[in-house]
Chains A and B, each alone.
Chain A
Amino acid sequence: MTKILAVDDSASMRQMVAFTLKSAGFDVTDASDGDEALQIAKGQSFDVVITDVNMPNMDGITLCRELRALPSFKFTPILMLTTESSADKKQAGRSAGATGWIVKPFNPDQLLATVNKVIG
C-alpha cells in the first residue's frame, strides 16, 4: 500500500488530509510539525510526503531540506501545502527540494488528484 506522511500543525487540516487519503486507500502517518515528521521519517520510508509550510519547531521548507538529506528520501515526492501563491515561496520550496505544491484552500478531490500525480 502507498505510504504517505502528512505533516500539518493544524489538527483540522491534518485530520482532513489524513481522512481523505485513508478513504482513498492510502496508508497515512501524520505528524504535527517538521520536527516530529523528521523523527518519524528517520525510522521508515514513505512514498509521498505532504507538508504544510508554516509550522512551529520546524517549518515545511526546512523539513523538506532535511528529508532530501536522508538517503531514503532522495527521490520521494514531497508536496507543500501552501496558501501563498507568491512565487518566492514556491521558489524557496523548490530550492529546498520540494516536488510540487497544493495551494490552499483545496478540497479532497483536488488533494487526491495531486497525490495521484506523484505516485506511479
Chain B
Amino acid sequence: MEIDLSQFHEVFFEESFEGLDVMEQELLNLEEDTDLENVNTIFRAAHSIKGGSATFNFSQVAEFTHVMETLLDEMRDGKRAITREIIDLLLKSVDCLRGMLNKLQDGEEVSNDYVELVDYFNQLLSSDSSGSKQQDSGESNAADLGSSEPKSAISGWSISFAPENYILQTGNEPIRMFKELAGLGGLKVEADLSKVPSFSELDPELCFISWQLELDTSEDEQPVKEVFEWVEDDCKLSIKAIGSDPSSDVLEQDEKLSESVVEEVKEEVNTSDTTKTDTSTEKKLVPIRTEQSKQTSVKKAAATASIRVGIDKVDTLIDLVGELVITQSMLGELGENFDMSKVEQLISGLRELEANTRELQESVMRIRMLPIGFVFNRLPRMVRDLSAQLGKKIDLKIVGEETELDKTVMEQIGDPLTHLVRNALDHGVESVEDRIAAGKPEIGVLTLNAFHQGGNIIIEIKDDGKGIDPEIIYAKAVEKGMIEDGIDIPHEQIIGMIMEPGFSTAAVVSDVSGRGVGMDVVKRNINNLGGSVDIASVLGEGTTFTIRLPLTLAILDGQLVRSADQIYVIPLASIVESIPLSGIQVTRIAGDMPVYKNEGEYIPIVDLRREFDIQLEKQSTNEGLIAIVEGENRKIAIKIDELLGQQQVVIKSLESHYKSIQGVSGATILGDGRVSLILDIVGLSKRSSERMSRDREQVA
C-alpha cells in the first residue's frame, strides 16, 4: 500500500517542538530538584522525537536523539549523576534540535553542526564505563556467525512445535501461525493430541496440543523462523531441513523426537537469534536509505498552520449547533402557518436564536484561544542564561500562565514580551553588590502575571529593581531635544518617554539589550495589536510594565458613526471624546487646514466625506459633531454627522476581498446586511495630512 508519510510531518514537527519545550522546562526544573519523574519526562520527550524522526525518515534527528536518549537512560537508571554540565549539554542539544527541526520543516538541508554535539555525547558515554552499554550497535560483527546450514537443495522444512499450555493467553494462536506458514508453501499439519486430558479435567483456556508440520518450500530458514519469532521462548521448537531426498519421511520420527534433540535445536535457535535480529535490522535499513534520498527531492512542504483543540471545546460547539438547529426548526414551523397571535412566540424564538448565535460565536472564538503559558514557557530559559551572563541573581515567578488569549495575538506578543523581560533583567534588576548595598535581598524577583480584565488580557512584567529615575529621563529627553528644558511634566509621562522613538536609556549598548530593537518598537508592536503599554515605577523599589491587549483580533468593540449616507466603525478604544460642532471653535491654519484648538493643543479635523469622496447634499458647517480619536499618540478629530450605537463587530479583511485602502483597517457587515468600513486612525491621519499637502501643492 502506498501511504504518503509526508502528510504526518506537520504533526510530527508540532509535537516535536512541544516536546522540546517540555524538555527545556524540565531541564530547568532539574537544576533545582533532581526528581526522577522529571528525568522520565525528559526521556519520554526525547524518545518520542527519536521514534517519530526515524519513522518519518529524518535520520539526522534520529541519530542525535538516540545519543541523547542513551545518556538520559543512564540518568534515569541512576547510573549517571545529574550535573550542571550535563544539563547545559542537554539544553544546548535542545536548541540544536530545534534548529534542525526548523530547517527540516522549511524543507531545507540540515547542517552538520550537530555532529559535534553527537561526538561529545559519545565521548561522554564511552569515557565513563559505569553503565554505558552499547547494546544497540556493534552487533554487526556477529553477522557471519551462526548462519544456518548451507542451503543445498532444500525441498522443505520439518517443524516440531510444542507450545507451552498458556500460549493462547499471550494472544498467539497456533492456527494463525500455520496459516502464515502455508503462505510460504504447501503445508502438512499433524496434531499430537496425546497430552490432552480427559474432558472433565480439560481447561479450555489452555493448549495441550503439539504439532508436527511439514512445509514444502524452497524458502530458507529465516522466514520460517520468523513465524515463530514471538513464541520461541514459550514453546519447544525444532526446525530441520528436509533434503532433496524425497524418501526421508519425517512424520514417522516425530513421536520419538527426543527431548535432548529439541533442547539442542532450541539452543541453536537462540544463538542464531542475534544473527536474526541483526539481519532484520539490516533489511530495514535498506528501504530507509532509499526513501531518504527520495525525501530530499520532495518539494518543500507548505507550512500549514494548525491548532490543537481540546475535545471539550469541540463538544460545546456541537451542543450549541444542536441547539441552533432546534431553534431553527422551531422558527421554521412557526413560519409555516403564521398569524398575528404567534408574534409573542416569534419574538421569543428570535431571542433564543440571538442567544444561540452569540454563544456559538464565543465558543468558536474560544477555539483559537490558547493559554499564554505557551509564550511564558520560553522565558525561564532566557532568564537563566541571561542572569548568568549578567552575573545577577534572579528568581522568575510566573502567575496566570493558564490565562487564554487568541493564537494570533499570542504569536505576535512573544517578541515584545521577550524584549521587556530582557530589559527588566538588564536595566531593572541590580547586581548582587548593588542590591546588598541597598539593603535588598540579593536575589532579584521578576514576576510575570497574566489575567483577564473585561475583554482584555493584562500582562504585567514586574521587577523589584532600582526603578526608573524620572530626573535622568527628563535630562536625557531634553538632551535629545524631545522636550524643552523647564517644562513641568508629570512623572508618569516622563517615564513613558522611554518608549518613545529615539530614546535609549542604556548608557552603554550592552550585549543584552542592544539587539537593534528599541522600546519604541515594543510599544509600536503592541499598539499595532490594538493594545497599550503602561509603565509604573518607584525609584529604588522597582518597575512594572503593564501590557493590555484585546483577547482577539477577530472581533472589535466599535462605535458606529454616520457620515452622509455611510456608516463607519471607529474602534471604541481609540475614542477620547466627542463634541458637537456647534460648541467648538474651528480655526484654519496653514492654508485651509481646519483644526480644533483644545487646551493649547491643535487637533486636525478630518472630514470623512472629503477623505472618501462622498458627494452628497451640502452640509452646514455647524451641523454634526467631531469624535476626537487617538492613535500612536496622535490625535485627530473626525467630523461625523451622527453617533450611532456601540457594538462588537466581526472584522473582515478588506485586503483579501478587495484591496488595501489607507485609513481603513477592514470591514464588517452590519445587522441589515450593509458593509461598513472600519477606520484605522493612524492610517486616516496620515492619509489626511498627505492629501492636505497635495492640495496645497496644487494651489501653489
Binding site for B on A (CB under 8 A): 9-13, 15-16, 19-20, 23-24, 52, 54-56, 68, 74-78, 81, 83, 85-86, 91, 94, 97-101, 103-110, 112, 117-120
Contacts A24-B1, A85-B136 known; A76 to B171 CB distance under 8 Å?
Answer: yes
Residues of B within 8 A of A68 (CB): 169
Q: How far is the CA of A94 from the CA of B172 in the complex (A)?
A: 11
Of chain A, the residue at the smallest CB distance from B11 is A12
- Chain A residues, CB < 8 A from B172: 77, 99-100
Interface residue stretch chosen among B52-60, B383-391, B555-563, B633-641: B52-60
Contact B173 A120 (CB under 8 A): yes
Are A15 and B171 touching (Cβ within 8 A)? no
Give the contact-size bracket for chain B.
35 or more
Complex interface: chain A residues within 8 A of B14 (CB) = 11
B135 near A86: Cβ-Cβ < 8 Å: yes
Q: Which of chain B's residues have a CB closer than 8 A to the CB of A23?
A: 1, 3
Contact of B151 with A by CB under 8 A: no
Interchain Cβ contacts under 8 Å between A and B, 6 examples: A11-B14, A54-B48, A78-B171, A103-B280, A104-B55, A120-B176
Question: Is the beta-carbon distance between B54 and A118 smaller than 8 angstroms?
Answer: no
Task: Return chain B residues, CB-CB under 8 Å to A56.
Answer: 41, 44
Q: How far is the CA of A97 from the CA of B3 in the complex (A)?
A: 31
Residue B514 is within 8 A (CB to CB) of chain A in the complex: no
Closest CB pairs A-B (n = 7) = A99-B171, A105-B54, A12-B12, A100-B230, A77-B171, A108-B3, A120-B176
CA distance A117 to B8 in the complex (A): 25
**A10-B170 in contact (CB<8A):** no
Closest to B43 in A: A54
Bound-state Cα–Cα, A112 to B175, Å? 19
Beta-carbon contact of B51 and A83 below 8 Å: yes
Knowing A23-B3, A75-B171 touch, does A85 contact B284 (C-beta < 8 A)? Answer: no
Complex Cα distance A81/B56, Å?
15
Smallest beta-carbon distance A21→chain B, Å: 10
Q: Is B433 an interface residue (CB 8 A)?
A: no
In the complex, how many angstroms separate the beta carbon of B278 from the nearest chain A beta carbon?
Answer: 9
User: Within 8 Å CB of B170, what residues of A?
Assistant: 94, 97-99
Residue of B56, B136, B179 near A86 (CB, 8 A) is B136
Give Cα A114–Cα B179 distance, bound, in whole angstroms: 14
Give bound CA distance, A24 to B168, whole Å. 26
* B415 CB → nearest A CB, Å: 28
**How far, in Å, is B131 (CB) from chain A's closest CB?**
14
Establish whether residues B176 and A10, one from each chain, have CB atoms under 8 Å apart when the complex forms: no
Considering the chains assembled together, what is the distance between the CA atoms of A56 and B169 in angstroms?
26
CB closest chain-B residue, reference A79: B171
Q: How far is the CA of A23 from the CA of B3 in the complex (A)?
A: 9
- Give chain A residues whose Cβ lies under 8 Å from the Cβ of B288: 105
Asked whether B44 lies within 8 Å of A54 as measured between CB atoms, the reply is yes
Annotate B31-60 by CB proximity to A: 1 below 8 A, 0 otherwise: 000000000010110011011101110000
**Is B54 touching A13 in the complex (CB atoms < 8 A)?**
no
B55–A54 CB distance below 8 A: no
